[in-house]
Amino acid sequence: MSTFKDLVRVAFTGLLARKVRTLLLLLGPMIGVAAIIASVGLTDSAKGDLKQKVSKLGTNLIEAAASSSFGGQNPTLPTDAVERALTVTTVEKVSAVVELSNIVVTPYDEAREKFETVPIPVLGADDNLPNVLQVNLVSGRWINQFDEESDVRAAVIGVGLAREFDVLPGENRTIELNGIPYGVVGILNSVELEPGFDNAVFISFARAEIDFLSDDVEPNKMYVRCTEGTEAETSEALKTAVNLGGPQEITTDIKSEALELAAQSDRQLQMIVISMGLLAIIVGGLGIANVMSISVIQRSAEIGIRRALGHTRNIIAIQFLFEAIVVGVIGGILGVLLGMLAIFIGASIAGWVFVMASWLAPAGIILAITISILAGLYPARRAAALEPLETLRLG
Amino acid sequence: MNPLSTTQAVALPTLMELSHVSRVYGTGEAAVWALRDVSLVIRAGDFVSIVGPSGSGKSTMLGLLGCLDVPTEGTITVGDEEVTRLADAARTRVRGKSIGFVFQQFHLIPHLDALGNVETALLYRSLKPAERRERAMASLERVGLGRRADHRPVQLSGGEQQRVALARALVTEPKILLADEPTGALDTKNAANVMEILSGLQSTERAVVIVTHDTNIANSAARKVSMLDGGIVADEVLRR
């Protein structure tokens, strides 16, 4: 242990004694690591806002919609679709909706003519929907059990519709659905994975049944959150679970897939820039090998006297290797910092979100150390091979 | 017999022994015999000079005495270790433990101050930094350079540099102090000063060996070994 401390101390003293040379040695690994970090970081940051969105929304949202292979009109899911979906073990949360058709939505009666031509989707929804979609309300509350059980005509509207109808957050307003007034109890925030909801109206299943449907209400769509990573299996299992013993069929859609695809960085570009960074670091390594080899010749008298004082060949070799490693560690750390600065500046100028994968910093430092060890091997061996008698008589 | 002669009869311990040592450079017809069948015993208390013109083999002798080189034939024993049987690393350890070096060109490490240079001899010996520092400082004070501990070699005069080198050689408490032309690069005054320190180092525990071509220096030692053409031609005691 004390030998190790001695080695580190001597390496630092040796490097500090030749500051300019040490600085030049540092440049190689530093620029190489910085180039690699900046290239990966900047290509990631270019897609950073999308990546962030994906990680925030989660990749595990599945939409299961009713479909009919018989070409029937308005296919529906079984009434107990939610219970059926929950029998799939990887399913965590489920919410069902029913899309209602031919409902004219107007902010007030006088505007009916104008909004008749603008179709606004109206959905019957259960109280679990915001929870499954992981979306909050801008103001107010979501439809609850009370609305479901009593005769209250409560509606939640999307944030886009609220803007269109000039509904202020917290304001008491009514809207009319086919002339029937509903009280707006809440405004739903934007749903990234279901942009259509921004302009939709949500009412309880019970109300939908009473006011707009003649039959019993049957959902035609479900939103399912499954265990992260089981999207594909869950999609398949859902089809069986919902369909089992009945005529209804469903099609499933993993909502984040398109977004994920868009968020993928340009791998090809990244590889090109990483290759250039690697090249820079290899050239840097050659620089270390070169400068240190010269240094071995310049310091041959020092090596000779150290050998005479009882330092073994191994100690001399490790000593030179340690100088290279110290250069690698410091160069690597400086390179990571410089790379981060480059990402930060680049992302700020372009208006991107700063993204830096957590593996980048350790990988950069390890790469720099590896290169410097490889570069230090040759001069270290040369230093160890010097014959003390020859170098001492030269002086 | 009086008590004094009894003490004299008890020989001081042998520190180093060269037995029928030869050193040949090159092979076959181009072989050069730098040393031929040389035997030499160095005992504690010796203050020996090894003197001879260039080409006499004294540099080869220096390499062998310093365990920096191994002979082609013959054996060398340091203390109770036969160094001719040891591998490089083990021989290096014997060197670090038993031998202190002083060179004509001082060979101080330029980027270290005087204290750092002396401390270099104590590296990799499992010493605590504080203890190492203390011992190095004590050694510098012994050669009268305690106040110059933080000076770099370029800030020191030749004489001072050689005294730092002496402090470095002595800090490990070697049994044998080997000096190669220690005054060769110094003016008369500094040379005298260094010789004075060297002769003062003679003790019943230690031997001081000076390799030189300078007869005046050689004659100031207590014992003179004269070399010529790879052999010892005279081994005389000049003083008791």
> Domain segments of chain B: what residues?
46-67+96-235
When pLDDT is cut at 50, 70 and 90, the band that residue B138 belongs to is very high
Is residue B139 less than 8 Å (CB to CB) from chain A?
no
Indicate the residue of B59, B68, B105 with minimum beta-carbon distance to A395.
B105
Cβ distance of B109 and A305 shorter than 8 Å: yes
Residue range A333-350, pLDDT digits in tens: 999 999 999 999 999 998
Mean residue pLDDT of chain A comes to: 86
Q: Which residue out of B61, B123, B173, B180 would a mutagenesis test of the A interface target, given it has the greatest number of A Cβ atoms within 10 Å?
A: B123
Cβ distance of A17 and B111 shorter than 8 Å: yes
Q: Which residues of chain A neighbour B129 with C-beta distances below 8 Å?
A: 5, 9
Helix (H) or strand (E) holding B217: helix B215-219
Is residue B166 less than 8 Å (CB to CB) from chain A?
no
Chain A residues bordering chain B (beta-carbon distance below 8 Å)? 2-3, 5-6, 9-10, 13-14, 17-18, 301-302, 304-315, 387-389, 392-393, 395
Does the pLDDT of residue B120 top 90, yes or no? yes
CA dihedral B139, B145, B147, B151 (to 10 degrees): -100
Question: What is d(CA A75, CA A68) in angstroms, rounded to the nearest whole number?
Answer: 6
When pLDDT is cut at 50, 70 and 90, the band that residue A61 belongs to is confident
Mean residue pLDDT of chain B comes to: 91
A275 min Cα distance to partner chain B (Å): 39
Q: Which residues of chain A neighbour B89 with C-beta distances below 8 Å?
A: 312-314
| Least confident piece of the model among A229-233, A279-283, A358-362 | A229-233
Mean pLDDT along residues B15-25: 95
Cβ distance of A311 and B69 shorter than 8 Å: no
Residue range B223-234, pLDDT digits in tens: 999 999 999 999
- Side-chain-facing half-sphere of A360: CA atoms under 13 Å: 24
The CATH fold assigned to B46-67+96-235 is Rossmann fold (3.40.50)
Does the pLDDT of residue B43 top 50, yes or no? yes
Instruction: Please name the residue of chain B whose CA is at the shortest distance from the CA of residue A395.
Output: B105
Mean pLDDT along residues B193-197: 90
Give one DSSP letter per residue of B84-151, joined into a string.
GGS-HHHHHHHHHHHEEEE-TT----TTS-HHHHHHHTTTTS---HHHHHHHHHHHHHHTT-GGGTT-
Most confident of A81-85, A187-191, A297-301, B40-44: B40-44
This complex has an ipTM of 0.91
- Domain residue extents for chain A: 2-47+265-394, 60-262
Alpha-carbon Rg of chain A, whole angstroms?
34
Report the pLDDT value the prediction gives residue A117, as an integer from 0 to 100: 77
Indicate the residue of B59, B112, B126 with minimum beta-carbon distance to A13.
B112
Cβ distance of B101 and A314 shorter than 8 Å: no
Instruction: Please name the residue of chain B whose CA is at the shortest distance from the CA of residue A315.
Output: B124
Q: Which residues of chain A neighbour B101 with C-beta distances below 8 Å?
A: 305, 308-309
* Residue with token string 């002496």: B166
Indicate the residue of B111, B124, B126 with minimum beta-carbon distance to A311.
B124
Is residue B150 less than 8 Å (CB to CB) from chain A?
no
Is residue B112 less than 8 Å (CB to CB) from chain A?
yes
Indicate the residue of B103, B123, B172 with minimum beta-carbon distance to A6.
B123
Give me A24's structure tokens. 């030049």
Cβ distance of A305 and B127 shorter than 8 Å: no
Q: Which residues of chain B neighbour A308 with C-beta distances below 8 Å?
A: 66, 68, 95, 101
Q: How far is CA A19 from CA A11, A191, A288, B2, in A?
A: 13, 58, 14, 68
Does the pLDDT of residue A206 top 50, yes or no? yes
Question: What is d(CA B87, CA A156) in angstroms, rounded to the nearest whole number?
Answer: 89
| Least confident piece of the model among A315-329, B2-16, B53-67, B178-192 | B2-16
